[in-house]
Amino acid sequence: MSADEDDDGGDGPHPRETQQLFGHADAERILLEAYRSSRIPHAWLIGGPRGIGKATLAYRMARFVLAHPDPRSPEVQSARSLAVDREHPVARRMAAQAQGDLLVLERTEDDKGKMRTVITVDQMRRNVSFFGSTAGEGGWRVCIIDSAEELKLPEAANALLKVLEEPPPNSLFLLVSHAPRQLLATIRSRCRVLDLRPMATGEVAQAVAAALGRDADAEVMEAATLAEGSVGRAVTMLEGPALALRQRLTQLLERLPETDALALHALGDAIAGVDPQPLATFVDTVNAWLSARLAEPQESRRMVRIAEAWERVNRAASEAQEFNLERKPLVFSVFAMLAETARN
Going from N- to C-terminal start, the domains of the chain cover 5-195, 240-343
Q: What is the pTM of this model?
A: 0.72
Share of the chain residues as helix, strand and coil, in percent rounded to the nearest 5: 55, 10, 35
Name the phi and psi angles at 279, rounded to 5.
-65, -40
Question: To 10 degrees, what angle do helices 276-294 and 231-239 make?
Answer: 130
pLDDT band of 247, cuts 50, 70, 90: confident
Look at residue 102 in the predicted model and tell me its pLDDT: 95
| Domain spanning 5-195, CATH class | alpha beta
Bridge partners (DSSP) of residue 143 are 103, 173
Furthest-apart CA pair in the chain: how many Å? 67
Phi-psi region of 6 (alpha: psi -120 to 50; beta: other; left: phi over 0): left
Strand order in the sheet with 102-105: 102-105, 141-146, 171-177, 43-47, 192-195
User: What is the per-residue pLDDT for 5?
Assistant: 43
Range from 71-80, 137-146, 229-238, 271-280 that averages highest in pLDDT: 71-80
Mean pLDDT across 63-84: 96
pLDDT for the residue numbered 204: 92
Q: Is the dihedral of CA 220, 223, 229, 235 positive or negative?
A: negative
pLDDT at 228: 77
- Would you give the DSSP letter of residue 47? E
| Confidence band for 261, pLDDT divided at 50, 70 and 90 | very high
Per-residue pLDDT reduced to its tens digit, 110-129: 888 777 888 988 888 888 78
pLDDT, average across residues 244-252: 89
pLDDT band at residue 10, thresholds of 50, 70 and 90?
A: very low
* For residues 304-314, average pLDDT: 86
Within 8 A by CB and 6+ apart from 300, the residues are none
The length of the chain is 344
User: To the nearest whole number, what is the mean pLDDT of the chain?
Assistant: 88
Contact 136, 142 (CB under 8 A): no
Mean pLDDT, to the nearest integer, of 12-25? 87
DSSP at 200: P
C-alpha closest to that of 227 among 254, 251, 267, 199: 199
Sign of CA pseudo-dihedral 94, 30, 156, 275: negative
Chain centroid to Cα 253, Å, comes to 26
Encode burial over 90-120: b for 16+ CB neighbours within 10 A, e otherwise: bbebbbeeebebbbbbbbeeeeeeeeeeebb
Task: pLDDT band for 1, please (50, 70, 90 cuts).
Answer: very low
- CA 77, 81, 87 angle in degrees (round to 5)? 100
Distance CA 233, CA 215 (A): 18
What's the confidence (pLDDT) of residue 138?
64
H/E run at residue 24? none
Among the listed residues 101, 96, 97, 62, the one whose alpha carbon sits nearest the alpha carbon of residue 82:
62
Higher pLDDT, 97 or 277: 97
The SS3 of residue 189 is coil
pLDDT at position 310: 86
Count CB-CB contacts under 10 A for residue 220.
22
Q: Is the per-residue pLDDT at 189 higher than 90? A: yes
Measured distance CA(273)–CA(250) in Å, rounded:
21
